[in-house]
Amino acid sequence: MPVAAAELDARLGTKDFHSRLTGGVSTPGIGRGLAAVRACMPHLFRPVADTAARSVLVAIVVVPLLAIGLAYWVSASEHVTGEEITLDQPVPFSHAHHVGGLGLDCRYCHTGVETSPVAGIPPTHTCMTCHSQLYTQTAMLAPIRKSLAEGHPIHWNKVNRLPAYVYFDHSIHVAKGIGCTTCHGDVANMPLMRQAAPLTMGWCLDCHRNPAAKMRPVSEVFDPHWKFPDDQAERGVILAHQYLDNKHLTDCSICHR
């Protein structure tokens, strides 16, 4: 069934092409000739081709964006950051019990936290200050007793891991009003320790760009139950003014050497 040339042109979008060919001048003779050719040729594209072409155009823009988004999502996902993953430990030490229940101070075990870059994992002797008297026969604590008896240290699985090129220092953070739970999460309710923050560079920088949002009074740093007050925005600014000497916390050399 013959279709009007103009209609075909409109459908296939060849009008412009046609008029460009003819220099914009409508030459009926050529038009007629083309119509004749169209009339006897089969269609190159089916109507759905239009839809496909438009979809491809959209996809060219959307797919890379989605891919980037996916990459971001994957890189920030728990699979990559290790966040919220609970590792098995040789002894199922419970912070919920020792900190939340008994109310031990963080520094009882993590002795280096105020002076050293690393907070420190307690030596077997620290465990035995209590457990030489309490629960001396439990199977759960057998590795501790074995460690003391044989002089071999306990190999704990590391929960909060930073890359080797990051030189994080606990002592400066606790001295400047960054509380333990701000990074380590609600330790008092963790039966087994898990990583509570993504520990990505972006996450570090969020705070290094705006430390006031996460600062608390130095006296509250080791309080595992401390909550940010509703007016943290105002209080934080005061604390930052009070504690912070360094106005250049985003310098590369602050963390990398």
Partner 1 sequence: MKATRTTRHSLHGLDPALDRRAALKLFMTGVAATLASCGRPPEEVVPYVQMPERETPGLPLLFASALPLAGYGRGVIVTSVEGRPIKIEGNPRHPASLGSTDVYGEATVLSLYDPDRSKAPYSDNRTQSWSAFEAALRPRLDRHRAKQGEGLAVLTGRITSPSMLAQFESLKRSMPQMKRYRYEPIDDDAIRNGTKLAFGRLATALPRFTDARIVLTLDADPIGAGPEQIRYARQIADARRAQVPTNSLRLYSAEPDWSLTGALADHRVALRPELIRNLAIEVARGLGAPLEQATLPDEIRRFAAAATADIQARRGAALVMAGPRQPAEVHALCHWIDAQLQAPVDFIASVDPDAKSHNESLRTFVSDVRGGHVETLIILDANPLYNAPGSLGVGEAIRAVPFRAHFGGFRDETARHCTWHLPLTHALEHWSDIRAFDGTASIIQPLILPLYDSRDPHQILAMLEAEARSPTLDIIRNQWKSAVSEKGLADWWRQTLHDGVVANSAFEKISLPTAGLPSLAPVTAAEGFTLALASDPAVFDGGMANNAWLQECPKPFTSQVWGNALHVAESDARALGVRDGDVLQLRHGEATLEMPALISKGQAAGVLSTTLGYGRTDAGTIGTGIGVDVYPWRNADSPWLIDHVTITRAGHRAELLQTQHFFDLEGEAEQLQPRLTLADLVGGKFQVERPGGNPPTLYPPSHDDTYKWAMSIDASACIGCNACVVACQAENNIPVVGPDEIAMGRDMHWMRIDHYVVDARPGFSPTPCMHCEHAPCEPVCPVAASIHDSEGLNVQVYNRCVGTRFCESNCPYKVRRFNFAGYADGQEYGNLGEDIAKAVFNPNVSVRGRGVMEKCTYCVQRISVARRAAEREGRVIREGEVVTACQAACPTQAIHFGDMSDPHSRINALRADPRSYSLLGELGTRPRTTYLARLQNPNPDYGKART
The residues of the shown chain that bind partner 1, judged by CB under 8 A, are 79-80, 82, 87, 111-112, 115-118, 120-125, 147-148, 151-158, 161, 164-165, 167, 169, 171-172, 175-176, 245-248, 251-254, 256-257
Contact present, 90 and 154 (Cβ < 8 Å):
yes
Give the shortest CB-195-to-partner 1 separation in angstroms: 12
Helix (H, G, I), strand (E, B) or coil at 80: helix
Q: Give the rounded distance of the alpha carbon of 40 from its chain centre.
A: 62
Give the shortest CB-220-to-partner 1 separation in angstroms: 17
Give the shortest CB-82-to-partner 1 separation in angstroms: 8
Considering the complex, state which of residue 15 and residue 146 has its C-beta at the smaller distance from partner 1: 146
Give the shortest CB-62-to-partner 1 separation in angstroms: 22
Of the candidates 224, 241, 235, 226, the residue with the CA atom closest to the CA atom of residue 108 = 224
Radius of gyration of the chain (CA): 34
Considering the complex, state which of residue 125 and residue 227 has its C-beta at the smaller distance from partner 1: 125
* Other Cβ atoms closer than 10 A to 37: 8
Measured CA angle at 81 (ends 75, 82), to 5 deg: 140
Contact present, 200 and 81 (Cβ < 8 Å):
yes
Considering the complex, state which of residue 28 and residue 163 has its C-beta at the smaller distance from partner 1: 163
Of the candidates 16, 89, 3, the residue with the CA atom closest to the CA atom of residue 47 = 3
Give the shortest CB-248-to-partner 1 separation in angstroms: 4
Considering the complex, state which of residue 19 and residue 94 has its C-beta at the smaller distance from partner 1: 94
Considering the complex, state which of residue 196 and residue 199 has its C-beta at the smaller distance from partner 1: 199
